[in-house]
Amino acid sequence: MLHRVTGSLLFRLAILVVIVVLTTQMATIWMAAGERRKLVDKQIYAQVVDTLAFMEGSMDGMDTPERLEFLNSYNRPGLTRLLLPEAAEKVTFDDDLPRPAVALIRHLGMGLDEKIEAHMVQQGERNELWLRVHVLGKPYWLAIPFGRYSDRPILSIIQAAILASLFATLLASLVAWRITRPISQVVTASRQLAKGNMPSRIEECGPRELQALARGFNQMAQALDTAARERRLMLAGLSHDLRTPLTRMKLMVEMQEPGPDTQDMLSDIDELSRIVQQFIDFARAEETVKREPVALAELADSVVARFRRDGLDISLKREAEPELMGDALALERLLSNLLENARRYGAPPVRVEVAQQAGFANLSVVDHGNGIPASLRETALAPFERLAEHRGTDGGSGLGLAIVSRVVKQHHGQLSFENEAGGGFRIRIRLPLQA
């Protein structure tokens, strides 16, 4: 089940959409974070340059006491401050600088054409960046509050990216489902066609290529159905028309004076009649089966009794009494063909077994012949295919196992060939109890 989901075209398109959306959003967040860093760096640099220019303009012409009084009135906690060199004696420096501080130092060094000394200082709960600068030729410490400058991407950008990714994924998955739905319908219809059922007409919708695919499949299915109906009509009509002259020939032979070839002629006419009947059964095997309760053991008992009256050494082993939903006439033809094959190509004694297991009815025909070689078992199920050692010598039509295979498929069952451990050959058929 998991492989069926992960191997589907819809799942792979959804994964492709998710990868594309996530890649796009990650690239967008990375670009937005980069632009934000550039903007923050410019703002800090502009703030420092403006502060230094303001200080120089304000303190120009002041003597030392006036400068001290100006700085005492200007400096406020939590704001940018200009401190005397002695202020560094009361704090502890941390040389581990954040990225914005490193970028600021680089830009200031290039702008002021001097090496800038910088340290981080913890002032209570605040982080400050201390820069050693010169104002009017004298050294000072410029203390800049640095807690507000974060190098992490804005949370709102991440939230917006997640929401956009979810929305884009859902929308793209819906579009992918709409695109792949006609393909899924074609796959489902092809499976029905492979089982011998005529699928419903596929809706011709979606992109132009998918419309052409659905239209071509509908035309192919219709052509196959028409050919199958014509073949059924031809087989049924031809077989029906042949039975009348065969009946007349048999009647004429029986009414003539008995001769040395009379019995052989009657046997040949009966063989032709049997082949014609197989043609009729093969044509009927393509028709839709009727669903009705069938007691499989009772049906097998009736067929076995008929073959026993014809002189076949046969027995019936009833291990269970399964009742399934199926076509009684089709199942009777199935068992009759298996027993006829066992009589012609196997060896007595023949045993029919009826059992039940895990929601399935098991029907087996066992004989003591050599069976069918493993390499020819698939070929033996094809219509008009006959094994080389029997071709032209047994009077068969090559339809016996083909009819069996079609009836099994119509009942959604399984057919298998097995070699018996003690010698012999088994054909096992498993039929679901429920239609």
The tens digit of pLDDT for each residue in 274-317 reads 666 666 666 665 555 678 899 999 999 999 999 999 889 999 99
pLDDT at 305: 93
User: Mean of the pLDDT values across residues 222-241?
Assistant: 70
Nearest one of 190, 224, 184 to 205, comparing CA atoms: 184
Q: By the 8 A CB rule, do 149 and 127 touch?
A: no
Domains and CATH numbers, the chain: 2-145 (3.30.450.300), 200-284 (1.10.287.130), 288-432 (3.30.565.10)
In the three-class reduction of DSSP (H, G, I as helix; E, B as strand; rest coil), residue 341 is classed as helix
The tens digit of pLDDT for each residue in 61-89 reads 888 888 888 888 888 887 888 888 888 88
Nearest one of 363, 365, 344, 345 to 355, comparing CA atoms: 363
The helix (H) or strand (E) run that includes residue 356 is strand 350-357
* Cα Rg of the chain, angstroms: 46
**Alpha-helix runs per DSSP H in 256-394:** 262-284, 296-309, 328-345, 377-380
Alpha-carbon distance values, 212 to 141, 206, 263, 292 (Å):
78, 10, 62, 40
Amino acid identity at 233? L
Indicate the range of 1-10, 22-31, 76-85, 221-230 predicted with least confidence.
1-10
Beta pairing partners, 352: 316, 365
The tens digit of pLDDT for each residue in 137-169 reads 888 888 888 766 655 556 677 777 788 778 877
In this predicted model, which residue has the larger pLDDT, 419 or 155? 419
The tens digit of pLDDT for each residue in 105-140 reads 888 888 777 788 888 888 777 788 888 888 888 888
CA distance 145 to 159: 28
CA distance 337 to 326: 17
The residues near 274 (Cβ < 8 Å, ≥ 6 apart) are none
- The string of DSSP letters for 370-434 reads ----GGGHHHHTSTT---TTTTTTS---S-HHHHHHHHHHHTT-EEEEEE-TTS-EEEEEEEES-
The pair of structure tokens assigned to 128 is 């400050």
> Which of 173-177, 230-234, 361-365 has the highest mean predicted lDDT (pLDDT)?
361-365
How, if at all, do strands 414-419 and 425-432 pair?
Answer: antiparallel
pLDDT band at 388 (very low <50, low <70, confident <90, very high): very low
The helix (H) or strand (E) run that includes residue 316 is strand 314-318
User: Mean of the pLDDT values across residues 89-98?
Assistant: 84
Residue 391 reports pLDDT greater than 50: no
Nearest one of 323, 284, 231, 302 to 406, comparing CA atoms: 284
Burial 155-166 (b: 16+ CB within 10 A, else e): eeeeeebeeebe
Mean pLDDT in the chain?
A: 79
In this predicted model, which residue has the larger pLDDT, 352 or 374? 352
